[in-house]
Amino acid sequence: MGFFIEVLVGGLMAGVLYSLVALGFVLIFKASGVFNFAQGAMVLFAALSFVRLLDILKDTFAPMLLALAITIAIMIVLAIVIERLVLRPLVNQPGISLFMATLGIAYFLDGFGQAIWGSDVYTLDVGIPKDPVLLFESIFEGGVLLSTEDMVAALVAGLLVAALALFFQRTRIGRALRAVADDHQAAQSVGIPLNYIWVIVWSVAGLVALVAGIIWGSKLGVQFSLSLIALKALPVLILGGFESVLGAIVGGLIIGAGEKLSEVYLGPYIGGGIENWFAYVLALFFLLFRPQGLFGEKHIDRV
């Protein structure tokens, strides 16, 4: 029983990390209807910028804060550039074209980030404790071994989601964002500037990418494979629904837990490495019953 809970909790924690990446997708999809494949590339780019700036600024008085501030500035500039050069010329194009454009952005960012920051594996230490802790020793035999790193990550993710929820619900810009998400034309007709909103959304997605990049980077090292995390976040998205922040969180938890449990309990029977596809098949299975994802909006087709 203790082992089961250990695996389950470990999976849930990993799921939180998937949710962090999925969150970036959801933000952009809600506000602009763009399925942003470049989210993974943004995670890599943000993490690379951060880790390299940390290295360059290590002799200043507060390297961490400075690097963070500069990286945030870089992500905002990136959002502005993307809006100017990609989204604006592609207004009113079908979704598939925009999706391909974000694939182009992903290629560009992967190349650009590694061209200016180098393509080695960088270790990132932001002071998250790494020692595992033993919990519930009195309840289960042997206790439950948990990684503090994962717990910090889960905590950060929780705070981020709470902050985003507040931002969306309580601020003026947040209301504008929700209006745009509901209906582009109606939002525009009441005077919400679409281009400005898109810059904000892409900036926020950039910040989420930065947080995800820092957490993943301190776990795995900052390297090219961070860019492929986007592929892990996709089943989370279709499971939770493209339009739902809550869906990204719940989807991430289900995928994370399912993946780890299947790896441990099913893996020995059908061969290892099933975590590469299990999430997709699980998500596909859910989709057969709820085609719009768990929390997605039901689409009504009118002829």
Partner 1 sequence: MFYREAGQFKTSYAADQAAFPISQDRVFIGIWLLIGFVAVPLLSNEYLFRAIFIPFLIMALAALGLNLLVGYCGQVSLGTGAFMAVGAYAAYNFWIRIPGLNPLIAFVLAGGVATLVGILFGIPSLRIKGFYLAVATLAAQFFIDWVFSRIGWFTNYTPSGSIAVPAISLFGFEFESPLRKYFLCLTILVLFAIVAKNLVRGRIGRAWMATRDMDVAAEIIGIRPMYAKLSAFAVSSFFIGVAGALWGFVHLGSWEPLAFDVNRSFSILFMVIIGGLGSILGAFLGAAFITVLPLILNQTPHWLGIQLSTAMISHIEFMIFGALIVFFLAVEPQGLARLWRIAKEKLRLWPFPY
Residues that bind partner 1 (CB under 8 A): 35, 85-86, 89-90, 93, 95-97, 99-101, 103-112, 114-115, 119, 231, 234-235, 237-238, 242, 271-274, 276-277, 280-281, 283-284, 287-288, 291-293, 299, 301-303
Min dist. Cβ of residue 114 to partner 1 (A): 5
Min dist. Cβ of residue 222 to partner 1 (A): 16
For tokens 């998500």, what's the residue? 283
Min dist. Cβ of residue 244 to partner 1 (A): 13
Complex with partner 1: residue 115 or 190, whichever CB lies closer: 115
In which element (H, E) is residue 49 found?
A: helix 39-56
Complex with partner 1: residue 100 or 246, whichever CB lies closer: 100
How crowded is residue 97: how many other Cβ atoms within 10 Å of its Cβ? 10
Q: DSSP for 58-105? A: TTSS-HHHHHHHHHHHHHHHHHHHHIIIIITTTTT--HHHHHHHHHHH
- Per the CB < 8 A criterion, the answer to whether 152 and 129 are in contact is yes
User: Hey, is 60 helix, strand or coil?
Assistant: coil
Complex with partner 1: residue 61 or 289, whichever CB lies closer: 289
Complex with partner 1: residue 136 or 285, whichever CB lies closer: 285
Min dist. Cβ of residue 188 to partner 1 (A): 21
Under DSSP, the state recorded for 90 is T
Looking at the DSSP bridge assignments, the partners of residue 146 are 133
Complex with partner 1: residue 7 or 103, whichever CB lies closer: 103
